[in-house]
Amino acid sequence: MHTLTRLPHNGEPYSIDLESLPYTIGRDSGNNLIFVNEYVSRRHAVIDADGEEYFIQDHDSTHGTFINGTALSNGPNPLKPGDKISLGVFPDNEEFYFDIHVRPTEQGLPEPLVEADSPISQQIKLIEAEREFEALGKLIKPRLSFNQHEVLALLWKSYPAACTLDAIAQAGWPKQEYEVGNDEIYTCISNIKKRLKENGLNPEILQNVRRYGYKLVDGPLEDLEAS
């Protein structure tokens, strides 16, 4: 299922399922998502889909709708996982990430959304039966630590969607009795990126999604001599 993750100015991010389409956003009480915000128009924007392709359209709002900082053009504008949607560009604007909610299996892990011939699979690939990763067709040696493997497996299976910090904490530290801090997650991600670089990959294929989490992206192979 596709979702919006709201980034409130006070409080933690939370997900909103796009259960019915078209999905309208605005200040009027008849919208699917309602905001009491003077900068949001009564019928500000609408999200709809054509098959598996999702789109967002601004409804002549006063302050505009933006994807990744760029104002929407007239008519439907395509959405892809990880896109940041902003209603206006003022300090107290409403912001979301458009994403895909991955489907859990019986073991609680997401089913892979990665195609075998996708650019990301050509760079890094999970060999699930062996609990191994391949980088550029060669096994990563030595093996990743438990936390590193589980976090990277979650990100790989969730590609191209981003994973929240909570999801990463649950995957990497499943039996932790205390709350996993952002510093622990950051250290784990940094160590994963270091291991990717050691195995010839551009570590920037693993990217931070501000105030949300992390995701894998298609990227160029690392030029080790230039780094």
- Mind listing the pLDDT tens digit for each residue in 85-98? 999 877 667 888 88
Residue 136 above 80 pLDDT? Answer: yes
Calculate what percentage of the chain has a pLDDT beyond 70: 85
- Structure-model confidence comparison of residues 84 and 102, the more confident one: 84
> Which stretch of 21-25, 66-70, 89-93, 140-144 has the lowest confidence by average pLDDT?
89-93
Q: What is the pLDDT of residue 199?
A: 93
Give phi and psi for 95, each to the nearest 5: -130, 145
pLDDT, the chain, mean: 82
First to last CA, the chain: 39
pLDDT band for position 11 (50/70/90)? low
Residue 113, sorted as left (phi over 0), alpha (psi -120 to 50) or beta, turns out to be alpha
pTM above 0.75, yes or no: no
Helix, strand, coil shares of the chain, percent, nearest 5, are 20, 30, 50
Residues 6+ apart with CB under 8 A from 13: 5, 6, 7, 164, 211, 212
Model confidence pLDDT, tens digit, residues 50-86: 988 899 999 999 999 999 889 998 899 999 888 889 9
Model confidence pLDDT, tens digit, residues 148-192: 999 999 998 888 888 888 889 988 888 777 788 888 999 999 999
| CA pair distance 170, 34, nearest whole angstrom | 31
pLDDT band for position 48 (50/70/90)? very high
Residues 6+ apart with CB under 8 A from 195: 140, 144, 148
Residue 226 above 50 pLDDT? Answer: no
- Structure-model confidence comparison of residues 17 and 62, the more confident one: 62
